[in-house]
Structure 1
Amino acid sequence: MASRLVEQLGGQNAAGASATSLAEQIRALILDGRLTVGERLPSERALALELRRSRSTTTRVYGLLEGDGYVVRRHGGSTRVALPHTAHRLSDPDDDEAIDLSIASMDSTPGLYDATVRSLPRLAALRGTSGYSLRGLPELRDAVAARFTDRGVETDPDEIIITSGAVNAFNLILATIGRRGERALVEQPTFPHALEALHRYGYRMLPTPVDVTGWDERHVTDTLLRSRPHLAYLIPDFHNPTGATMSDAERSRIATTARSTGTHVVVDETTAELDIDRGWAPLPMSAHSPQVITVGSMSKIAWGGLRIGWIRADRALIARLISTRPSFELGTALLEQCIAVELLQDMPALTAHVASRLRAGRAAVAAGLGALGGLTMPPTSGGLSTWLDLGAPVSTELSLAARRHGLIVPPGPRFTTGGVLERRLRVPITLSPERTTDAMERLGRAWTHVMSGGATVDEQAPRAAVI
């Protein structure tokens, strides 16, 4: 069985790579958080066997990483991930000078303040209660259910549970129905934190390809029929990161196939309301099968700081979710729920604001790419980002170069299982035009550096001087 390091590297990236290139790839895994500080890495001998490389090559790889402070080695003992004292200065997202493109999210809607003020009497009326809310406020469940009904799938408030965001919702689902050692069908690429959650609950991944042009439906259905996975995690609307949207016919056939194989389909609708100019509105996937479990969130349409999400499922599963929830939390904060009630009462204003902001961000990204030369923005009708084809497997190299220009942008493999998609890069369209213009200028400098074959910072200066 491959070590986690080799799984993250991907055999394609490791094959034939020099020791310096392998060290760069592992450094990128550490900076991205795909390898965690303190994590034990394979021994030099074990890594050489896994990669089918010489022992001297793996010794050189670990030596380079140790010299830069990215691993700590004990003679005759273990090799563990570390961070050099200067690493945070290259990549700290809290650095005012850095622009962080690892988080594709907008600032708050202009209506958030007024909604907060309007929510206070509702909150005051709850002071006589315990304050714990396992299922969620009735008014908020009514509003979420009504939104599903408006979109074409009749929904009762009893089929809704309110959570502390979408990631929290997915973890609650896994805590309730998860089975360690089972298979999970996942899109390739997909939302990284969903992959992390599935790994944590012991699932084995079955990737199915998605691109800007959409899904390979036959691959999805064949994988379902052949492997009969316990769970499938899908993002059918403005897929993160490709921006693709699944057709109604594809949703129906995939949902039907999953029902026949007994697969739990978890649909992430966090991006479903991020329409700019798609020109059509598909039915929610839950309209095609009552067994579909849907996760949603306020984070992209209102504000990431408003930790409100929800799960739509049949009543039997809702009851199981409520029974499981107290094992790790006692409900969702009441103030956020009261604010969400107010915001959801004016969805047209919310979605109009989102479309306007995303349209401006998309234009700024397109202009920035046009100034670079060699990169073309694919059609992007909504969603969080554009999924660039770099034309060469240089995504990790570009990501590392960008950090040295004060830009944090995760490489394509960050969104995959197995370290593939080195030709791809996700660029958010969620920042303000001014911030986006600055980000694209920094990306341009990094792109020029990579395309010119420029030396890395490590080669240009003594290691002690790297900041």
Structure 2
Amino acid sequence: MSSRRFASQSLVRLLGHWQQPGSRMPLWRQLADALRLLILDGRLALDTRLPGERELAAALAVSRTTVGSALAHLREEGYLESRHGSGSRVLLPAGRPMQASAVSGEGVDLSTAALGAGPEIHQAYTHAIAALPQHLQQTGYERFGLPALRETIAARYSARGVPTQADEIMIVNGAVSGLAMVLRMLTGPGDRVVVDHPTYPLAIAAIQGASCRPVGVSLPERGWDVAGFAATVAQTSPRLAWLMPDFHNPTGRCMDIATRQAIADIAANTRTTLVVDETMVDLWYDAPPPAPLAAFNSRASVITIGSAGKSFWGGLRLGWIRAPARTLAALAQARDTLDLGSPLLEQLATQWLIEHEAQILPARRQMLALRRDICGALMREHFPQWRFEVPQGGLSYWIELPDSVATSLAARAETQGIHLGTGTRFGLAGAFDRYLRIPFTLESAALEEALLKIKTLWLPLDKAETPFRRRVI
């Protein structure tokens, strides 16, 4: 398989502000650390071919010796393979995963906002195994999913204010898989897809993987920019818009009723399909979210994607799509080229979890709310220069730093076994290098230990005077 060449300007944008002002670390080492971070994040895909040393040095405005030393160091570590006349190709050292586990001998992963399984997951699988024999005489191929689970999810939507029938639900292998399926059905190469900016990195990857062009609508200080959304839709004529109104990732904010109505009306008037990701909908701490966006204008074309991953456990790898039955029939045809359905055992386990969510989710929300508050208190104590708002839901804080040093901090943290989620992962063309996403999913002791390590790396980057004071809500 031939490797894809990465353009030098694209790489420069991804690297962001990789140089560390005032650092005693050699410049070549700073560059090597920043490139390694891109590889471990997955933003530099495996088998990608980097620009040549001369071209990259010119693009970065550094000496060729600096670039050569950085690439040589990464080759020694096993992150690059170089051949004369063919440039350097990205790979991983033998046995090295793309990301460390959340807490392990390999380090601490603060780039992933997810929880481990609770005891209810074992219970769910125990019940699923007990229920499995009655399904074994069937083929197991269900393109739309287990009928009983579809009925359960439909009833859930109806209870939330949008009447739904079982034939309006399709079970899929996670939210990202559902988005990929929708993109395959509705878009073609070069089509535009409107997204919030910042937004979920894997959504950006799915859109770009479908050869579409994500078009960002910047989020204001609070809420959503309705006028900006309307203008972007009018100017770009997108095939669809992908939104996360319920505890948006990474900001944690929730779209209010008035904004939902306005967005739905714009979609109806412009005939723009809305693809709404509700992955975080169950993780609210102060108040439940309003009714689904699909409830606000019956003329709007709305496809809603849900998931069991954040509500219960990511290892379930199960999600669903809510859409008109005719749309799902077309999706089923597109699905035939991807898979033949979702695993039955996981569907049975998810059905049990949803049926018992009244006993499971309140305790989960209470535990996460406590971790959220502890995380906020620790950051106020140890990082008074960081600016953030307490999220209404979700699993993480969106941190604004005093300067564009997120990449530098993350590169330093990586050398200490701490993997950070820089803001650039959530933006287009290298945006948001002055932001970090910090999840509060770790146990408090582990989180405090990680933050104290980060503090020792942060202090050399911190400036004597910050351009703004801390603001928290």
TM bucket normalised to smaller: 0.7 to 0.9
Corresponding residue for residue 66 of structure 1: 72
Residue of structure 2 equivalent to 1:462: none
User: Per-residue deviation at 1:205?
Assistant: 1.8
Residue deviations 1:76-117, cap 9 Å, x none? 4323234567x9499643842511122211122432233333
Matched, 1:182 2:185: no
Question: What corresponds to 2:173 in structure 1?
Answer: 164
User: Pick from 94, 99, 102: which aligns with 2:111?
Assistant: 102
CA distance in 1, matches of 2:435, 2:429: 14
Q: Is residue 2:286 matched to residue 1:283?
A: no
Q: Give the whole-Å Cα distance in 2 for the aligned partners of 1:12 and 1:409.
A: 15
RMSD between aligned residues: 2.8
Mapped partners of 1:373, 1:363: distance in 2: 15
1:10 to 2, 10, 13: 13
How far apart, CA to CA, are the structure 2 residues paired with 1:40 and 1:3? 6
Q: Name which of 335, 340, 347 aligns with 1:337.
A: 347
Distance across 2 between alignment mates of 1:447 and 1:90: 24
1:204 aligns with 2:213: yes
Query: CA contact under 8 A between 1:368 and 1:441: conserved in structure 2?
Result: no
Contact 2:241 2:272 in 1 (8 A): yes
Unpaired runs of 5+ residues, structure 2, are: 22-26, 465-473
Q: Which whole-Å CA distance do the structure 2 matches of 1:11 and 1:169 have between them?
A: 27
User: CA contact under 8 A between 2:39 and 2:46: conserved in structure 1?
Assistant: yes
Note the C-alpha offset of 1:360.
Answer: 2.0
The alpha-carbon deviation at position 363 of structure 1 amounts to 2.2
CA distance in 2, matches of 1:402, 1:61: 22
Deviations 1:39-62 (CA, angstroms, capped at 9, x unpaired)? 11233455467x4x65x6456324
Equivalent residue pairs, number: 447
Structure 2 contact 400–436 (Cα < 8 Å) conserved:
yes
Secondary structure of residue in 2 paired with 1:451 = coil
Partner of 2:255: 246
Task: Write out aligned runs for 1:74-85 (5 A).
Answer: 74-83=83-92
Amino acid at match of 1:348: A
C-alpha distance in 2 between matches for 1:249 and 1:270: 21
**How far does residue 424 in structure 1 lie from its aligned partner after superposition?**
0.5
**Contact between 1:62 and 1:71, CA under 8 Å: does it hold in 2?**
no
State the Cα deviation string for residues 412-437 of structure 1 (Å, max 9, x = none).
10111111111110011222223222
Q: Secondary structure at the match of 2:316?
A: coil
Asked whether the equivalents of residues 93 and 408 of structure 1 are also in contact (C-alpha less than 8 Å), the reply is no
Q: Could you give the per-residue CA deviations for residues 307-342 of structure 1, whole angstroms, max 9, x where no partner exists?
A: 210000111110011122121211111111111111
Q: 1:305 aligns with which of 315, 319, 340?
A: 315
1:442 matched residue in structure 2? 453
Matches within 5 A, 1:107-256: 107-210=116-219, 213-256=222-265
Task: Give the whole-Å Cα distance in 2 for the aligned partners of 1:35 and 1:353.
Answer: 39
Aligned to 2:218, what secondary structure does the other structure show?
A: strand
Aligned partner of residue 315 in structure 2, secondary structure: coil
Aligned match of 1:457: none
**Aligned-partner SS, 1:233:** strand
Structure 2 counterpart of 1:459: none
* Structure 1 residues 240 and 62: CA distance shift in structure 2, 3 A: farther
User: Could you tell me which amino acid in structure 1 is paired with residue 16 of structure 2?
Assistant: N
Q: For residue 101 of structure 2, what is the aligned residue in structure 1? A: 93
Residue identity opposite 1:66 in structure 2: A
Q: Could you tell me whether the CA contact under 8 Å between 2:48 and 2:90 is conserved in 1?
A: yes
Deviation at 1:130, TM superposition (A): 0.7
Question: In structure 2, which of residues 23, 38, 49 is the aligned counterpart of residue 40 of structure 1?
Answer: 49
CA distance in 1 between partners of 2:387 and 2:99 (Å): 26
- Conserved 8 A contact 1:189-1:416: yes
Return closer, same or farther for 1:58/1:255 CA change in 2, 3 Å cut-off: farther
How far off is 1:383 after superposition? 0.6
Letter of the structure 2 residue corresponding to residue 282 of structure 1: P
1:401 has 2:425 as partner: no
Q: Which residue of 1 aligns with 2:468?
A: none
Counterparts of 1:264 and 1:345, CA distance in 2: 31
Deviation at 1:30, TM superposition (A): 1.9
2:271 alignment counterpart: 262
Following superposition, the deviation at residue 23 of structure 1 comes to 5.1
Cα distance in 2, alignment partners of residues 270 and 89 from structure 1: 25
Confirm or deny: 8 A CA contact 1:91 1:403 kept in the other structure: no
Change in Cα spacing, 1:57 to 1:215, as seen in structure 2 (3 Å) is farther
One-letter amino acid matched to 2:293: M
Contact 2:194 2:214 in 1 (8 A): yes
- Report the TM-score when normalising by structure 2: 0.86
Change (3 A) 1:109 1:11: closer
Can you list the C-alpha shifts for 1:133-164, whole angstroms capped at 9, x where unaligned? Answer: 21111110011111111111111111100011
Q: TM-score, normalised by structure 1?
A: 0.87
Change (3 A) 1:59 1:430: same
Gaps of 5+ in 1: 454-467
Cα pair 1:267 1:285 within 8 Å, conserved = yes
Q: Is the 8 A contact 1:225 1:257 kept in 2?
A: no
Q: Which amino acid aligns with 1:13?
A: G
Q: Name the CA distance, whole Å, in 2 between partners of 1:167 and 1:373.
A: 34
**After the TM superposition, which residues 344-359 of structure 1 pair with which residues of structure 2 at under 5 Å, given as runs?**
344-359=354-369
